[in-house]
Amino acid sequence: MTELNLHFDNRFIRELPGDDSGSPHSRQTPHVCWARVAPTVVSKPRLLAYAPEVAALLGLSVDAVESENFAEVFGGNRLLPGMAAYATRYGGHQFGNWAGQLGDGRAISLGESVNSQGERWELQLKGAGITPYSRRADGRAVLRSSIREFLCSEAMFHLGVPTTRALSLISTGDVVRRDMFYDGNPRDEMGAVVCRVAPSFTRFGHFEILAAQGEMTLLRQLVAFTIERDFPHLSGPIEARFAAWFSEVCERTAQLMVAWMRVGFVHGVMNTDNMSILGLTIDYGPYGWVDNFDPSWTPNTTDEDLRRYSFGKQPKIARWNLERLADALMPVAPDRKLLAAGLIVYDQVLQREMQTMLTAKFGWLNPCDGDDALLGEIFGLMQQCEVDMTEFFRALALVDVRQPDVQTLASSFYQPLLFDNHRALLDDWLQRYSERVLSEAENEPTRRERMNRVNPRFVLRNYLAQQAIEAAEQGDMAPLHRLLQAARQPYAEDCPADLIAKRPEWARHKAGASMLSCSS
Ligand code: AMP
Ligand code: MG
């Protein structure tokens, strides 16, 4: 049997109090941060896909990942020596309201593996069965949502967006019943388990639940633990460390928002329980990618009316979420002014990095007076004229700024008529854009190259993921593997043409291909 050589050092359960009973029954778990619970056995675990880069991070060979033992372990049927299975306790603000205890309802951690470089990677199965935090739900995940989490985690990583990673996608051989449209017509779907990997899965909600329940000693303990384990570079007396820590959480969250806005990613459920303390993208549910540029777009059908989590609102919502984290930390902060200072860091980093990001996306070298007007105009036009965000920026790189021709941008429009109707306005904008580029006297190949490094050619468009899902449900994994391959080089020029095509018309309103429910 090929060895799965992993070394574990499970600090979270060693250093923080837990409920050791092992009982999976649904309950409140006051005064602890975790509860021991074994994954529920599945009937026929089968490896459908894995990320070789993540296996390498953990020090796992290809043979080890493709062994039968791997599917057994990462499908949830067996624990390796040193592993410990547990679910963690957190709360959260959902859609703006305090929701009480939530917790890992279908995620079960298997421990913190430490690789040969001493890097710590927590392994967590998603869809591994009920835990004390499952409430009335089944603890399972369906294949379709597992494929979406698996693919998008890796796509985001290769785009340069901070994210949890995905090691493996395993079908369980069991069916899971889901009402995908919440219309009273549930159907049986294939079950799956994703093993996700991150240095820490701690969320804002882990702190919030303790503050909400008045468990201040434990809250203090979790803060100290988080700083030590997850922010080991911070040093000095506790007051200084606390300030630096909260400020870094704010800074990382700002960087994350800028990264999402750069690539057109919409998380869809930015509840505080889905916010990582490390500023990673976490919990891939009804997320989506912007096709036609539209700040008011949300992929989440549950959010259709309020649009709280729409594309353009994400930076504001992150700020609101950080404020909820600050509220939770208030009772244990050495000085509450430190929290206000952290939030100001968020605003400053966000503003500075958004400007840097946009300057780079448009191919300019340095920000300059008048840029805001140019940006405002083009974003307005892009929204009005249904312009594909991804395609637009790659086309903009191709514009010959010495003889700008608006036709270069035509391919990024969904409706030729809208292009024709706005030709004069676009032409006028492009003239001024080109003068702006020329004012920095850089050669064209260099500008193009710089732009193509920040403007992806391939993004995991919703309809592409949906096609891979439909094929996988029929037993054909080839489209999924092809997407994973493309996701590895999202900025490369030579991506297969069908994977970089704008959203086809049939996908505009198709469930799964444009809008998604939370049912997963
Ligand atoms: P989410 O909206 O996926 O971030 O989940 C919100 C909360 O519901 C978290 O506590 C999840 O663990 C829990 N949850 C979601 N789906 C399930 C499920 N199928 N079984 C148990 N808990 C779930
Ligand atoms: Mg969640």
CA distance 472 to 377: 43
Q: Is residue 518 in contact with ligand 1, taking CB distance under 6 Å?
A: yes
Give me the active site residues, please. Answer: 273
Q: Which residue's CA is the nearest one to ligand 1's atom 11?
A: 105
Can you give the pLDDT of all 520 residues of the chain as single tens digits? 568 999 999 999 999 999 999 999 999 999 999 999 999 999 999 999 999 999 999 999 999 999 999 999 999 999 999 999 999 999 999 999 999 999 999 999 999 999 999 999 999 999 999 999 999 999 999 999 999 999 999 999 999 999 999 999 999 999 999 998 888 999 999 999 999 999 999 999 999 999 999 999 999 999 999 999 999 999 999 889 999 999 999 999 999 999 999 999 999 999 999 999 999 999 999 999 999 999 999 999 999 999 999 999 999 999 999 999 999 999 999 999 999 999 999 999 999 999 999 999 999 999 999 999 999 999 999 999 999 999 999 999 999 999 999 999 999 999 999 999 999 999 999 999 999 999 998 899 999 999 999 999 999 999 999 999 999 999 999 999 999 999 999 999 999 999 999 999 999 888 777 778 888 8
Ligand 1 atom at minimum distance from 285 CA:
3
**What residue ranges in 356-459 does DSSP mark as E strands?**
none
Return the amino acid letter for 456.
P
| 436 Cα: distance to centroid of ligand 2 (angstroms) | 44
Cα atoms in the 13 Å half-sphere on the side-chain side of 414: 22
Instruction: Determine contact, residues 504/183, Cβ cutoff 8 Å.
Output: no
CA distance 481 to 331: 49
| 156 Cα: distance to centroid of ligand 2 (angstroms) | 18
Q: Is residue 286 in contact with ligand 1, taking CB distance under 6 Å?
A: no
Ligand positioned closest to the Cα atom of 520: 1
| Residue 173, H or E segment | strand 165-178
Pocket test for ligand 1, best of 109, 134, 152, 193 (most atoms within 8 A of CB): 134
Ligand 1 atom at minimum distance from 104 CA:
12
Could you tell me the CA-to-CA distances from 440 to 5, 116, 396, 454, 494 in Å, in that order? Answer: 54, 47, 17, 19, 29
Residue 133: which residues within 8 A CB-CB, separation 6 or more? Answer: 26, 29, 35, 87, 89, 101, 102, 103, 104, 105
| 108 Cα: distance to centroid of ligand 1 (angstroms) | 12
CA distance 429 to 420: 15
Ligand positioned closest to the Cα atom of 133: 1
Pocket test for ligand 1, best of 133, 271, 283 (most atoms within 8 A of CB): 133
Which pTM was predicted?
0.98
Structure tokens at 15: 């250093």
**What residue ranges in 115-210 does DSSP mark as E strands?**
120-126, 141-142, 165-178, 187-198
Structure tokens at 195: 């093993």
Q: Is residue 360 in contact with ligand 1, taking CB distance under 6 Å?
A: no
Structure tokens at 416: 């030729």
Each domain of the chain, given as residue ranges in start order, spans: 11-201, 205-361, 371-454, 462-507
Nearest to 116 by CA among 230, 263, 6, 280: 6
| 430 Cα: distance to centroid of ligand 2 (angstroms) | 43
Which residues are close to ligand 2, an ion, with C-beta < 5 A? Answer: 274, 283
| 114 Cα: distance to centroid of ligand 2 (angstroms) | 25
Return the amino acid letter for 427.
D
